[in-house]
């Protein structure tokens, strides 16, 4: 900013005057100190004003930008949700998910998406909520030699769920009476011992005369019965069977991971 330059005040030169001199009118004359002070004051005031204006402008701009960004983000999110028409998934503090299903799922589901099941709390679940996700369906038990697979199943879920994997646990007492507890006891066992956050369901039968229709579909599609606890059925995003892995195929075994990666990559 240009600074005002104080002009030197011309000093009057004494001339002899023979004629009467009219009385001079008093004019306020700026003294050098006053001039410098005023200049400094004006300069400081202008600088402070500009800085304050700039700061206020930036703050206002930032606030407006943030407000516009938030509004745009909210509108985009709402628009995307409305366009998709899918379920709303809410992440929970424990790393699991709460599901808010749409009022209408639309067309009928295929494969496992054609069923309605009861979760471990007794609430009905329309399996169409898992459309678009690769699903690993596992018949589980609390007193089995393979029960420790819960740990790797939970780790697998935590690692892959953001990429579209869902794991569904179905307690079954078909093998050796190794799942005798109630749903409440099973839920407590899984949470306390393995920190399970993937969806768990009410006990069903996975083999025999009373086999649940869900497992009738899975074993029919695979042409292989459930052999023991912790058999794993890999299901595609469309709900249709892909592959079955017996109990001794661990969650991180190469064949299972390769099939999972391929299913996640599929359109």
Q: Active-site positions?
A: 144
Please list, in sequence order, all residues whose beta carbon lies within 8 angstroms of the beta carbon of residue 40, skipping any fewer than 6 positions away.
none
- Compute the distance between CA of residue 106 and CA of residue 122 in angstroms, rounded to an integer: 24
- DSSP-assigned beta bridge partners for residue 91: 97
How many other CB atoms are found less than 10 A from the CB of residue 32?
Answer: 10
Lookup result for tokens 């899918």: 86
**Helix H or strand E segment including 78:** helix 32-84
Please list, in sequence order, all residues whose beta carbon lies within 8 angstroms of the beta carbon of residue 200, skipping any fewer than 6 positions away.
119, 120, 140, 168, 169, 171, 186, 187, 190
- Check: CB of residue 128 under 8 Å from CB of residue 112: no
**225: nearest Cα among 203, 249, 247:** 247
- Compute the distance between CA of residue 161 and CA of residue 163 in angstroms, rounded to an integer: 5
């Amino acid at each position: 900013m240009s600074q005002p330059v104080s002009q030197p005040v011309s000093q009057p030169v004494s001339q002899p005057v023979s004629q009467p001199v009219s009385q001079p009118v008093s004019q306020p004359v700026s003294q050098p100190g006053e001039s410098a002070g005023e200049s400094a004051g004006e300069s400081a005031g202008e600088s402070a004003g500009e800085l304050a204006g700039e700061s206020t402008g930036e703050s206002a701009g930032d606030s407006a930008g943030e407000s516009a960004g938030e509004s745009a983000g909210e509108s985009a999110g709402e628009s995307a949700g409305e366009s998709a028409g899918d379920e709303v998934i809410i992440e929970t503090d424990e790393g699991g998910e709460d599901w808010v299903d749409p009022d209408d799922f639309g067309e009928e589901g295929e494969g496992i998406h054609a069923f309605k099941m009861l979760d471990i709390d007794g609430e009905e679940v329309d399996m169409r909520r898992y459309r678009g996700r690769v699903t690993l369906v596992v018949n589980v038990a609390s007193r089995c030699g393979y029960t420790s697979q819960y740990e790797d199943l939970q780790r697998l879920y935590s690692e892959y769920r953001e990429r579209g994997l869902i794991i569904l646990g179905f307690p079954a007492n078909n093998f050796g009476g190794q799942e005798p507890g109630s749903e409440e006891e099973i839920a407590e066992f899984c949470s306390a011992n393995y920190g399970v956050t993937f969806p768990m369901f009410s006990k069903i039968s996975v083999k025999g005369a009373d086999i649940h229709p869900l497992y009738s579909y899975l074993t029919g599609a695979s042409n292989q019965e459930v052999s023991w606890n912790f058999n794993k059925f890999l299901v595609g995003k469309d709900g249709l069977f892909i592959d079955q892995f017996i109990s001794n195929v661990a969650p991180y075994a190469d064949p299972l991971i390769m099939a999972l990666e391929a299913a996640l990559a599929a359109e």
